[in-house]
Structure 1
């Protein structure tokens, strides 16, 4: 089985080496970059399975790369940063990052987050194939493809790319259509769930699928209970 490829983007070579050594011990392949320009060049040549990125890069704001990764490439993203305020963490998640780890950190905890993220990605695919080899979910005019983390609207010629975390949440909702899911149920599989992560990611999903995200009709909030996907879902075979 081919090893998962992880890009490490951090201006401190010692941190890159530390992370790389620990990830190699757990069976991952890595490439390290100290600048945003180096990372962008590499991303244009080969897409990894996951990016671990520091926001404080010397030549550009790491958030710009996070936006590029999440909006156009649709791969896993974990932010590592010395910025530890709630607003910074929310901002990172709003731009589509799957996880946010504050420096200094234990490399073993980072590996746990990486493993958790890959498990969520695997869960997306296995959930979609659970019955009769179904691969895609049709709901409210949208078609969700778990293999590419993409959403396509069947009438509006509109396409959206989800982050791994967003796709995992949407898959849970799709598999439990018209049932209320609590925050605890939606947080399953996260190594260290951030208190507001579900709300932030749900907001991103709504911006992509709802005609009016401020007054959602497809994914509704049930105050004090959780969230519910109100549409009928059809699982379609390839």
Structure 2
């Protein structure tokens, strides 16, 4: 089995070199890019497992790129940025990023975060990559929801991991603490808001009534519960 491939998109050569060295020493394969154009061109022939993306890019808006990667590529997307404001972190997570690391950082922390994300992305031993529930089929191999007519709606990697957590534990309360433990990331205002946005988007894609959702119920002060009947294929 090949080692996971991590792409690094940052316009600072020193950061690219530092990250590449640390990741390759840890057993990962890496590809580095200083411009979004060359990075996106490489995606035509490469399928990364993890994308590290700086927001301050000279040739494109980093947040727009993050959103597109999250929806179209199905890769784990981790933002690495000097923007330390809470709102920047919230925006990045809301747009589909799986994690947000603030510069300056310790390369060992980046390696640890990537490993944690890859662990959380692996399906449990009892489950496949496809689940059926209440007229829907979730395809985790390509991060898409399919309705009973065969129409597919893409979901981001981050949305998919929230959905997988629900489908692994149907009709059981899942607390915020459990979500943080399983999905990674430090407990914080930005994490809570990002979870709220991801669940809201999942409800929209599942065509739920936002005032009275049937599948993903909010238990105020406690967490969430998924009420569907789930069959893993």
Structure-1-length-normalised TM-score: 0.89
**Alpha-carbon distance change, 181 to 78 in structure 1, aligned in 2, over 3 angstroms:** same
The within-5 A match list for 1:1-238 is: 1-122=1-122, 125=123, 127=124, 129-130=125-126, 134-155=128-149, 157-163=151-157, 165-189=158-182, 190-195=184-189, 196=192, 197-213=194-210, 215-236=212-233
Could you tell me how far 1:207 is from its partner in structure 2? 2.8
Over residues 148-185 of structure 1, what are the superposed CA-to-partner deviations in whole Å (9 max), with x where a residue is unaligned?
3322112361322331x322221221122111111111
- Of stretches 6-15 and 135-144 in structure 1, the one that deviates more from structure 2 is 135-144
* CA distance in 2 between partners of 1:176 and 1:59 (Å): 43
Q: CA, structure 1 residues 83+215, in 2 after alignment: closer, same or farther (shift >3 Å)? A: farther
| 2: CA distance, partners of 1:115 / 1:56 | 25
Matched residues in 2 for 1:26 and 1:193: separation?
Answer: 27
**Separation in 2, partners of 1:191, 1:64:** 22
Displacement, 1:145? 2.2
Contact 2:72 2:156 in 1 (8 A): no
Deviation at 1:61, TM superposition (A): 0.8
- Gapped regions of structure 2 (runs ≥ 5): none
Contact 1:137 1:233 in 2 (8 A): yes
Q: SS at the partner of 1:44?
A: coil
Deviates more, 1:13-22 or 1:146-155: 146-155
Q: Which runs of 5+ in 1 are unaligned?
A: none
Q: Which runs of 4+ in 1 moved over 4 A?
A: none
SS at match of 1:87: helix
- Aligned residue for 1:48, secondary structure, equals coil
Question: Number of residue pairs matched?
Answer: 229
Structure 2: how far apart are the matches of 1:151 and 1:102?
32
Question: Is the Cα–Cα contact under 8 Å of residues 180 and 186 in structure 2 kept in the other structure?
Answer: no
Does the Cα contact within 8 Å between 2:7 and 2:32 map onto a contact in 1? yes
CA separation in 2, counterparts of 1:219 and 1:207?
11
How big is the shift at 1:29?
0.7
Change (3 A) 1:207 1:89: farther
Q: Secondary structure at the match of 1:187?
A: helix
Tell me if the contact between 1:187 and 1:198 (Cα under 8 Å) persists in the aligned partners: no
1:77 offset after TM fit, Å? 0.3
